[in-house]
Every structure is written in C-alpha cells, then in structure tokens.
Chains A and B, each alone.
Chain A
C-alpha cells in the first residue's frame, strides 16, 4: 500500500496516511486527483481504478470515501476487506461511528489505524486483539491524564 485517504463528498480530507516518502506537492496532487476521480463515480460502479502505475481501491461508507493506492501485485479484493475491517474497528471503538466522530477524534482514528496497518501492510488479522491493544493504550493514557489533572488541582 502506498497511501490511505479518507475524504467526504465535498472533498474535505478527514484522514491521510502515507506509507511512502513523497513530497508535499505530490501529496497534494494525489489528494486532488483521488477526490476528483472517486467522488465523481456513480453509485454501483466498480471499486477499482487505475491511476498512473498504481491500482486504486475505494469504498464508500455513508458520507466518507476510503481510498487506497497500491502496487500492481497487491490483491484488490483483499484490500476491500482491509477497508471493511478498519471500518469495523472504528465502529466498535466509537460505537456507531459517523463522520463527526472522526473529525473530533482524528488522533484516535490514527491510533486505531496504527494498530491495524503498519508500513503499508496488515499488522494484525484478529479483530479482538486490535480492540484489546487500543483499550490498554487508552487506559495507560488516561491514568497519566488523571494524574496530571490532579497535580494542578
């Protein structure tokens, strides 16, 4: 995987993860191209596109488009499953996730993504383990925050 983007129908970016080192200009170009290509697609069309030498897989969930750019050897159908798994994770964490959750808690979305994907590959294939790891990390964070808030009190 080269990149993962989340954007809505008004082409506002909600999450961007780059697995390859690229320049800022290239990132902006990719975002522009992806939003243009994907948002214009009709409802029940094929989820796979070609852009330069990358395969693009996208899926729409409610108001958000999840868009992945990957190499020629990768399996497109499996990437659809990857996207679906990520949405399931978000759903389990936030409870009926919607776009607003991702806007106001974007750093959490990134943390969940980092438990699931790393270096452009799937890190953990078990749904349960990812959830456990996120919870534990949150506990760790919360404890410190509580500790900190007590200090100033």
Chain B
C-alpha cells in the first residue's frame, strides 16, 4: 500500500513543533489549506485532505467543517475515497449531527454494491453511528443481507442487526427467524454474531426468550464441540478453542436457563464438563471458567454444581494473579447474600486481600469483608478492619468508616467494645466520618452509664494528644463537660486513671477554643463544656467566668451569643446555674422535639448547636435555654395565677420564639421549682408521667409516648385533689416556629373534687426537621 505522503508530512511537521503555541499555528495553517481544498472541485487529493483533518481532530482540535466533505466522499465511486469518507463519518458524525441523515441514501446504495468490501464499509458505519431513523429505514436491507451467501457479509450484517435491535427494539421481531437459522452456521464469526443477536433479542422480549429456549440443545451441542475439539490455528488461544465464542454461548445459556428448570437441566452436564476440563493457567481459560461460574450461580443448577462453582472461585482467590483475585471477589460479592456460608469459608483469604498493595483489590476486599461480618466473627473482623482503616487509601476511608459503624451497630458484643471501636475510628479517620456520628456516639455514651468514667478518661487522653479531628474533639468536649467530675476524681476501674487537675482540664478546653484548627461548631461544644464544668469543679470557677466573658465579644455570632447568655447565668441568675447545668438525662435515639420530662409546649431557642443536621443535640440544651428565656419573665412576677392557668410557659404564641406571656410569670417559678426538685438525670422512659404543675390541689401530669417518625404524642392529665370542683379548665400550649402543634379536644372541662375523675387531652407535636 502506498502511504499518503502528504498526510505523513503534515504529521511530521506537527510532531516537530516544540511548543503548544507552535503546534496550534501549524494546525491552523493546515486547516485553512484543507478548507480551501474542500471548496475546490474534485482534485484527486480529497481523501488525503480528509485524512489530515481526521488526524487534527484526534489531537483535539475542532473539525466540524469536514462533515460535509465526509458526505461527499462517501458518495464517491472510488473505493479509497469511500473508505476515508466512512471513517470520517464514524469519527465526526454521530446521530446528534444533522449531516448524518444525509448519508442514509449512500449507505443504502452501498449496501447493494457489488463489491463486498464496499458493503462492509456501509455495514460498519451503520453499526457504529446509525441513528434510530436510519436503522428503521435500512432494517429490511440488513435482513436481506443476513441471508446472503458470503459469510463475510453475514457476520457483519448480524452485528449490524444487533445495533438496530439496541436502537429500535421493536424491529427485533423482524430478525428473529433469520437469527434462528444462523445458529446452523459453521463459520465461527457468523456463529458468534448470531449468538450475540439472539442474546439481545431474548433480553428485550420475553416471548422471544421462550422461543429460543428450544435452541438450548443446539447451543449445548455447539459448545461441546468447541470444548472437545483439538488445536486449530485460527481459533485456539492458549489451548482454549475460540474462547470468545465459548464465553458468549455461556452467557446466552445463562439468560435462557434463568428461572427455568428444564433449560437448566439440559445444560448441567455441559457446565460440569466445561468447569472440570478447562485449563485455567492462562487468561483465556480463566475467562471461560469465570463465565461458567457466573452461569452456574445464576441458573437453577443442582447443588453439586454450585459447590463446584464456589470451589472454583475459592481457587481463583488463591491465585497469584491480581486480576483473577479481583474477579473472584467480584463474583463472591454477587453470591454472598445467597450462599453466605460457602463464602464464609474463604473469609481468611479475603481478609488477607485487604493488605494487598493494589487499590482495586483492596476495594473489592473491603466490600466483601463488610458483607461477611456476622455476630460470630465480629471481634476478629473488626480488628482487621480497623487495621485496614489506618493504612487504606484516602478514597476508601469514608466508605470503610461508615461500613465499620454499621457493622458495629448491628453486631457489637458489648457497649464498651462499641464505644472503643467508634473512638478508634474517630482517632484514625476522624475527618472522613459522616456528620451523624457525633450525636450517635454521644447518645451511645449517655446510655452506657456505667462506662462514663472510662469513656471520659479515654476521651481526655485522646483530646490532649490531638485536637485536629473535629468529630473526636466535639465528642471529647461534650463528655468532659458532662462527666468532668469523674475525671477529677482520678479513680476508674476499667482503665488506669491519670491525675488530672482542674487546671489541666480547663487548659485542654481552652486550647480547643483558641486553636485555628477548630471549626465553629467545635468551639461551641468547648464553650458549653467549659460552662458546664462550672458546677462540677470547685476551685477555678473564676477562671471559667473569665473565659466566658472573653468570648462575649467574639466575632463569631454563635459563640458570642452563648458567651453572653452564660455570662448572664453567672451574674444575675447564679442560683439557677446548678439546675441549668445539671447532667443530661438519657437520650432516646429517636426522640425529637421536647424531651421527656419537659413541659410539652417547651419554648426552644436555637442555642446549640446551630447545624440542623444534628437535631438530637437540640434536645440537650432545652433545659438551659428554656430557663434562660424564662428568666426574663421572672423579673416581673405578678398576680397569682388562675387555677386553670396555662400549661406551658405561655398563653399563646409570642413572637419567633413562641414564648410566654407576662401573666405566666408566677406559674413559671413553680414550674422551675418542679424542675429543680428533680435534679438527678432521670433515665425517664417515655410513658412515665411527669408532674408539671401542682398548685392549689390541681395536679397536671404530662406523659410522652414513643414517637412514630417525627411526631411526638403527649398526654396531659389533670386531676383535682382539692375539695372544690373546678370548672372551665382550659389548657394552652405554645411551640417554636418549626414545630407543628395539634391539640385534640379535651375529655372534659371540669374537674370534680377529690380526684374522682380526670381530664385528659392529647397534644400532637410534629417536628419536620427531624
């Protein structure tokens, strides 16, 4: 063949350009010349010019002005011009371009050309970029060619039909009879194309699938012939006879045998034969075995065959070749849910693959290991997973961390183990964990009340060591704030205690506050923790006061607000401080909105934290915030309240906080009195009734029920222990703006004397931000 000299000259010139700018200049000149040539009449060099343009296109430069030239060249009678024209069409035109429709007619003519090479050009182009319209127009031509005499054309027409079926599935029926007939071909190329065509037809049409199930014996026969045939120079690859065809037939058998017993039975012997006789020392054999295993697992095969397949996968897992290990883990992932025990046997090897150097293998091993975690092997698996987490590549870290959390939640053998695991993850991969981890962990810690001492010791040590991992720092600050007294006591059964002075703790918290690595949320945690410590420690309260007052002029609005309010707590309401900062009750994971033990329509102010993603934390500051707001009202206590006074802190919604009216002042004192009387953290479970109002013989009890999703149901029960009847009893409640309130009708409005009857009313609260 004579090379296109001018094209090669241009390529040489472009390659010798030393800089990007120089190359751009050369290419611009060439493109200008090519454009000029295109405008001229036929000069015998059109194919060269288009080839030059295609080269320029491959370098990444725009070449759309060549589209019409492609159309013209395709219509040319000369073979070399047609060839380049069709190549240009495949590279520059796709179905989104308008010019592509113009070649439909040329393709149609060329499909009927006398030379089979011209026909093949047309078929190739149609299969590459044929749009749905073009396919519809030319489908009948293709069908005719499917029955042509030359196997060269038949195989190309078959793959063209495959493309047509993908683009326009309705045309599948047109090709079904021809496809059936093609299975009788001897030529491997045609057979291969036929198998692909039948696969496409069966995947898209259930009736065709049923029809082709009858072809299973024929396919089995062909396959058997391939497996037992000897060496052939044309088709043999590494001892396997035509692996491409074998794999495609296996794939078709998979589709035909799925969910069908008769078809599956017909292939059982064949699959066993392939599985045992195929030599898998080279890639070709492994490819065939791989496809066999996938087929066996997918059809209704007998159990012996399934065991054989899993064993093959196990053998693959021990192979030295990384590719083989990768695909075996991919397949095991598919069957881990159905054949869990079989895969468990290979757990050791899979866990070893976690330590492999290769990132793809590591990823597969991680997913498979997470799927294999169960209650029995949780401890050993978690050790391996934590080891993996410390050395894994960054793109896998967050996936691994969330997988570990899920596994720990489902199967943790003890609370201490669970907390340890989460702490370990936070220390190693703290930056990559999800945001809900912090409230989840806090909730877990409060629930494990016997471990508070242990937890706070561990967290303190971690905090002192490293303050860069935000989730860890947040949890540590919270715990130190809550349980700082057990830290100071210095004794702990579960871990060796360290001697910590109050100054040390305050130093640690101050470091967090001042560090530039701390995020605003973390600073908020630290400030609140410092404040809480003011009731837990005895000597350095002044230091705390000074810290808090400094932040009263902080630039961050959130911190400033907190600091100012805490300051107020120190100055005017010092007597409230202990009650406000007492220990948190046990949080229920799904509880949102008001906590148990709080008055139902509790006014909530957005004190801490501000992120709506951490809704559970909103539960915590309610006592503090509520009291802070109420403090405003306590400054003007006034007339004695009416017996049927408002329930919550307010007779009606008041401004954005939805809080109290002035007349409620007197009541609130008693309300707070009620709160103060219950200082200990009551792990109040939902149905316990809490007395929220007890005056003049009227007792009001409040009980919450387990919320369903985001709503909380509160039942208010009023009893009258005095000697007089009370009539016109009304209850009102106020809620913050983001909570929806729905009060059902009360059972009555009069309370007879001496607790002879009660009045109940149901209140529904719905917090959509949960």
Q: Identify A104's interface contact among B8, B245, B283, CB under 8 A.
A: B8
In the complex, which residue of chain A has the Cβ closest to the Cβ of B166? A119
Chain B hits for A19, CB < 8 A:
128
B78 contacts the other chain (CB 8 A)? yes
Interchain CB contact under 8 A, B96 and A21: yes
Q: Identify A77's interface contact among B8, B127, B233, B287, CB under 8 A.
A: B287
Interchain CB contact under 8 A, A144 and B58: no
Q: Please report the C-alpha to C-alpha distance between residue A122 and residue B115 in the assembled complex, in whole angstroms.
A: 23
Q: Please report the C-alpha to C-alpha distance between residue A21 and residue B291 in the assembled complex, in whole angstroms.
A: 28
Interchain CB contact under 8 A, A142 and B159: no
**What 10 A-B pairs have minimum CB-CB distances, sorted nearest first?**
A77-B287, A119-B127, A126-B234, A46-B360, A46-B322, A78-B287, A119-B163, A124-B189, A118-B159, A45-B358
Chain B hits for A50, CB < 8 A:
360, 363
A62 contacts the other chain (CB 8 A)? no
Interchain CB contact under 8 A, B117 and A140: yes
Residues of B within 8 A of A (CB): 1-3, 8, 11, 15, 44, 51, 54-55, 58-60, 78-80, 83-84, 87, 94-96, 115, 117, 120, 123-124, 127-129, 131, 152, 155-156, 159-160, 162-163, 166, 188-189, 192-193, 196, 233-235, 237, 242-245, 247, 251, 283-284, 286-287, 290-291, 322-327, 357-361, 363
Interchain CB contact under 8 A, A21 and B237: no
The total of chain A residues at the interface (CB under 8 A) is 60
Q: A43 to nearest B CB, angstroms?
A: 11
Interchain CB contact under 8 A, A77 and B1: no
Chain A hits for B284, CB < 8 A:
77, 81
Chain B hits for A128, CB < 8 A:
233-234
Q: Identify B58's interface contact among A13, A138, A141, CB under 8 A.
A: A13
Q: A110 to nearest B CB, angstroms?
A: 6
Q: Please report the C-alpha to C-alpha distance between residue A97 and residue B465 in the assembled complex, in whole angstroms.
A: 60
Interchain CB contact under 8 A, A45 and B159: no
Interchain CB contact under 8 A, A119 and B11: no
A103 contacts the other chain (CB 8 A)? yes
Interchain CB contact under 8 A, A124 and B323: no
Interchain CB contact under 8 A, A103 and B15: yes
Chain A hits for B325, CB < 8 A:
46
Interchain CB contact under 8 A, B162 and A121: yes
Known: A76-B323, A77-B287, A121-B196. 17 other contacts (CB 8 A): A15-B58, A44-B322, A46-B322, A50-B360, A76-B326, A77-B284, A81-B237, A84-B283, A107-B51, A118-B156, A119-B127, A128-B233, A133-B120, A140-B79, A145-B2, A146-B2, A148-B44
Q: Please report the C-alpha to C-alpha distance between residue A136 and residue B1 in the assembled complex, in whole angstroms.
A: 11
Chain B hits for A138, CB < 8 A:
1
Q: A91 to nearest B CB, angstroms?
A: 15
Question: Given A104-B11, A107-B84, is A48 in contact with B360 using a C-beta cutoff of 8 Å?
Answer: yes
Interchain CB contact under 8 A, B2 and A124: no
Q: Identify B78's interface contact among A78, A106, A144, CB under 8 A.
A: A144
Chain B hits for A121, CB < 8 A:
159, 162, 193, 196
Question: Given A21-B94, A148-B44, is A127 in contact with B287 using a C-beta cutoff of 8 Å?
Answer: no
Q: B65 to nearest A CB, angstroms?
A: 15
Q: Identify B326's interface contact among A46, A84, A103, A141, CB under 8 A.
A: A46
Question: Given A13-B58, A48-B323, A118-B124, is A75 in contact with B80 using a C-beta cutoff of 8 Å?
Answer: no
Interchain CB contact under 8 A, B358 and A118: no
Q: Please report the C-alpha to C-alpha distance between residue A126 and residue B361 in the assembled complex, in whole angstroms.
A: 33
Q: Please report the C-alpha to C-alpha distance between residue A106 and residue B156 in the assembled complex, in whole angstroms.
A: 23
Q: Mark A27-50, 1 if CB is under 8 A from B, else 0.
A: 010000000000000101111111
Q: Please report the C-alpha to C-alpha distance between residue A138 and residue B83 in the assembled complex, in whole angstroms.
A: 11
Interchain CB contact under 8 A, B87 and A107: yes
A87 contacts the other chain (CB 8 A)? no
Interchain CB contact under 8 A, B83 and A123: no
Chain A hits for B1, CB < 8 A:
108, 138, 141-142
- Provide 10 A-B residue pairs closer than 8 Å at the C-beta atoms, listed in order of the A residue: A13-B60, A15-B58, A47-B323, A48-B323, A77-B290, A104-B11, A118-B160, A122-B244, A141-B79, A146-B2
Q: Which residues 110-137 of A have a CB within 8 angstroms of B?
A: 110-111, 114, 118-119, 121-129, 133, 136-137
Interchain CB contact under 8 A, B117 and A45: no
Q: Please report the C-alpha to C-alpha distance between residue A28 and residue B251 in the assembled complex, in whole angstroms.
A: 33
Interchain CB contact under 8 A, B189 and A46: no
Q: Please report the C-alpha to C-alpha distance between residue A45 and residue B361 in the assembled complex, in whole angstroms.
A: 9
In the complex, which residue of chain A has the Cβ closest to the Cβ of B3? A105
